Structure 1
Amino acid sequence: MSERVAVVTGANKGIGFAIVKALCKRFEGVVYLTSRDETRGRTAVEELNKLDLQPRYHQLDITDVQSVSRFRDHIKRSHGGLDILINNAAVANCSDPYTTYEENKYIVDINYKSILILQDLLFPLIRDNGRIVNISSDCGHLSNIRNKKWIQRLSKKNLNVDDINEFVDWFLENCRNGTFKKEDFADEGTMAGYRVAKVALSAITMLQQREMEERNICVNSMHPGLVRTSMTNGVGFYSIDEAAETPVYLALDAPDTLKGAYVWYDKRVLDWYDSEADYFFKTSTLQVK
């Protein structure tokens, strides 16, 4: 039997770094720390080496088809496949609650569109009984959306990828042509690009589960909590090591009946479809000292 392989994207700092650290301590197999910037990634590996942990490194820019293809070829050649994929790489706009079309497109490309590239190139390598964890956000719960048409469309039983892509494109087109409405989103439409991208990621998780079902691969999305990282400008109630606990639980410990779920930072499974719930992100939490 070939050795087991776990991959974490965007892992040179923050939650991704902590997930790699935790996996290196518990996972029986090879753990890959990947990052867009090779220098930062190798520096992160050196930090873990000082703790007697031995992750392997490979450059991976999740928005670049060629980079993902090179990584796929490396995994295929070196290991024949992989068992755990934690899609952590992300960007947010915490400094300004309202952003330009260009910034929103960048946020959507990294937080959502990249998953389509990974799905196409890396998902076929995941072995039977493997696990995929998509790091979403409280911004990824359906209650972040207030537009009734999109709530209904994203909630339908026969949801498909075209529905999700059209939702994302609707938002970006509104940003581009000046028809963006704050009332289409919770919390006065703050951080709308991040909300749209993470709602799309949470939604596509359920489609991915449908496609992976016959191979007994578990695909779940989760909100890691408000974590003290550079992305939140250091504001949060969780350290990165605490925030890594639930993603690692989903990767290693959760029952294999947990599939296509939206999981809260405390391991609770929430009803993603409850658009009236109070699970949406509130910018006021970023003011907490």
Structure 2
Amino acid sequence: MPEGDTIWLAAHRLHAALAGRVLTRSDLRVPRFATADLTGRTVLDVTPRGKHLLTRIEGGLTLHSHLRMDGSWQVYANGERWRGGPVHQVRAILGNDERTAVGYRLPVLELIRTSEEPDVVGHLGPDLLGPDWDAAEAVRRLTADPARSLGEALLDQRNLAGIGNVYKSELAFLAAVTPWLPVGELASGVPERLVATARRLLEENKERTSRRTTSARLPSEQLYVYGRRSRPCLRCGTAIRKAELGDRVTYWCPGCQKGPTA
């Protein structure tokens, strides 16, 4: 599932292509909204909220989408060949006189009143890349259940919005604890540093297509643990381990990270 920085970049590109322009093409290929016609309306803005995308449209409407595991939004110049996948995977098309935005494999796509946005994103915690960012509130939510594992608490979008499996694994490594350690057992000051590090990493990566948490230049060493199963830890040389729990994966270094394991 895309992380908050990926969603921010997608929103940024959609906003640049659509905001302030009148829609000349509108096609929502989901049964509930298949007859909706947005042509003639101006796109006001495209705003990311955690892992959600909110495309606000003239007339008090918002097109709400969520990419989950496989979805994507691609932007093309008019007349350019679409390359995001086969046509039958297209779920939404929004176009103006210059650009066309195409949504592929969108598992969540709904047209709502802008006033109803709190119904779909109001449960989210402070957005790591949003104007509502509140570090103290994020720490409070993250540590509210002392018995909960750090990995689960970081992934819970009600605590802080924008962290996925990649940052969960990387943040636990940088805190030198395993993702299974109960948050109540974190040393004093660690939750505050974790939240600050999460914010810094997403800010640093939000305009990149290749995510990086290390200072290394080699593509294989741009992350400390995620995707590096059996490779040597960049700090201690111990082989990185991987655990799979359903559709979630976790990577960690047994040498650098202390605490319970899967």
- Common fold by TM > 0.5: no
TM-score of the aligned structures, taking structure 2 as reference length: 0.30
**Greater relative contact order: 1 or 2 (C-alpha under 8 angstroms, separation 6 or more)?**
1
- Which protein has the larger Cα radius of gyration, Structure 1 or Structure 2? 2
| Larger relative strand fraction | 2
